[in-house]
Structure 1
Amino acid sequence: MISLQKAIQTLGISRRKSADKILKDGILVNSKIIKEPWYELEEEDTIKYEGKTYKISELLKRKEEKVYYLINKPLDVICAMEDPFGRKTISDLIKNKIKEKVFHVGRLDLNSSGLLLLTNDGDLANKLLHPKHEISKTYTVIINGHPTREDLKKIENGVVLETGYKTNPAKIEKVKKQGSNHEVTITINEGKKRQVRLMFKVIGFKVKELKRIKFGPFSIKEVPNPGNIKKIDPEIIKNFIK
């Protein structure tokens, strides 16, 4: 037997939302909506989520090694494993390069690039995405115009996004003029949807380019070119999430 929460995490169902959020809405087990995280699943049970059916018998048989990869996501690649409109996805980048069934931890927009972590470890993904762990993420962004020190100080202190959410304090590490634009290096420890773009929008600037260059202890230097992939030692991951 296996708990419903554990099954959701192990299957990678919770890569877009936390298992808690999925269970709050309920998930289909043998065509019945279940919300209890510790609901015990038997070998003959099935889970259905977002149109996909998962057999618990296959999960219980599977003893898959946990794997971790870094990838440098290029521009114009969908941060998804499949796309109904036929656009290029992460799956296209890793085809014939990663044999395990992995998923991405977090996401980058179609018009953003840079560092992503891929794994088949649902437990790890939930830990990294949970706000309490405050995993740092660093980006280089190109914005239009020339921000003042006062503008950037607002971001460093936290701003209220158009959604009403107040961001945590951010760190501005480097500001460099580029003609009529500025390059800014910014580190945040949270990951709301399109957060960096929305933060600069609050102070009156548009992000023209965005690239993630660090994720926790990992750097884009390990996968310097778009499409590059590197397997990570599990011991590094263990130390990272302690």
Structure 2
Amino acid sequence: MRLEKLLAHTGHGTRSEIKRMMKTGTVSVNGRPVKDGGMQVDPTRDEIAVDGEAIFYREFIYIMMNKPQGVISATEDTRERTVIDLLDPEHRQFEPFPVGRLDKDTEGLLLLTNDGKLAHNLLSPRKHVPKTYFAEIEGQVTEEDRQSFAKGVALDDGYVTMPAELVILKSGAPEYGELSKIELTIMEGKFHQVKRMFQAVGKNVVYLKRLSMGPLQLDEHLAAGSCRELTAEELHELQQSGQSGK
């Protein structure tokens, strides 16, 4: 790995800032000052220090975000604000990306990482990693809907979904303007899937929030638009889920 890239990933500034810093001779590799940012180093074997303080490198980062409405699940966009824009510079320098997508008007749990292998495992249709959502529905959600979802419903393009678990928290009364409240667990991630599933049974989703992805639960203390790194336990469980698809 290039030395300047390692320093950037460990929060020591932008590439231009690091180049200026290296000219002062404050960066050392194995005890010797180094001014060449292009120098190849092995972070697992070489001793790298800045101002005499040892640098500990990590390759991957894993971030839980409570995505707010109004931002898109993308790494960059010329017109819209993205979830990457919500990250601190210390997290952005790892160049993370969202694992899967939440619609612009959908909020809740979003995982961001630069670990492509884990992302692939979590998103692979063969893994069947469950995702649970809370939703408010325009219309009365019934036991018949629950049974339909349990069998799988045909979407507008003819695709029949895998069986999904629908829990009715409140069956609203449309005549009084009441919304139904539900939790839905799906095993796949088709485009606008939750909204399209309810459209298939003649109802509309007016509010949608993702609560979990595999074993990873949205931190209830995480405000909308905020994020934190996963704990070691959360990461271990998520990695196990990605491998087993449970």
- The normalised TM-score by structure 1 is 0.70
Is 1:90 aligned with 2:88?
Answer: no
| Residues 104, 204 of structure 1: alpha-carbon distance in 2 compared, 3 angstrom cutoff | same
Q: For 2:237 and 2:178, how far apart are their aligned partners in 1?
A: 41
Residue 103 of structure 1 is matched in structure 2 by 97
Residue 223 of structure 2 is matched in structure 1 by 225
Pairwise CA distance, 1:91? 1.4
Residue 179 of structure 2 is matched in structure 1 by 181
Which has more strand, going by share of residues? 1
8 A contact 1:71–1:223 mirrored in 2: no
Residue 25 of structure 2 is matched in structure 1 by none
8 A contact 2:131–2:210 mirrored in 1: yes
Q: Which runs of 5+ in 1 are unaligned?
A: 1-57
Pairwise CA distance, 1:116? 0.7
Pairwise CA distance, 1:61? 7.9
Is 1:138 aligned with 2:132?
Answer: yes
Q: For 2:196 and 2:225, how far apart are their aligned partners in 1?
A: 27
8 A contact 1:72–1:223 mirrored in 2: no
| Residues 62, 148 of structure 1: alpha-carbon distance in 2 compared, 3 angstrom cutoff | farther
- Off by >2 Å, runs of 4+ in structure 1: 60-64, 221-224, 233-242
Q: For 1:195 and 1:122, how far apart are their aligned partners in 2?
A: 24
Pairwise CA distance, 1:220? 1.4
Instruction: Give CA deviations for 1:124-158 in whole Å, capped at 9, x if unaligned.
Output: 11111111110000001111111221123112210
- Percent of pairs identical after alignment? 38
Pairwise CA distance, 1:221? 2.6
| Residues 229, 236 of structure 1: alpha-carbon distance in 2 compared, 3 angstrom cutoff | same
CA RMSD of aligned residues (A): 2.1
Instruction: Give CA deviations for 1:189-218 in whole Å, capped at 9, x if unaligned.
Output: 100000000000000001001100111111
**How many equivalent pairs are there?**
183
Residue 49 of structure 1 is matched in structure 2 by none
Residue 162 of structure 2 is matched in structure 1 by 168
Rg comparison, structure with higher value:
2
Q: Which range is displaced more, 217-226 or 184-193? A: 217-226
Q: Which runs of 5+ in 2 are unaligned?
A: 1-37, 44-57
Q: Counterpart amino acid of 2:228?
A: K
- The normalised TM-score by structure 2 is 0.69
Is 1:192 aligned with 2:199?
Answer: no
Q: Counterpart amino acid of 2:224?
A: P
| Residues 120, 155 of structure 1: alpha-carbon distance in 2 compared, 3 angstrom cutoff | same
Q: Counterpart amino acid of 1:152?
A: R
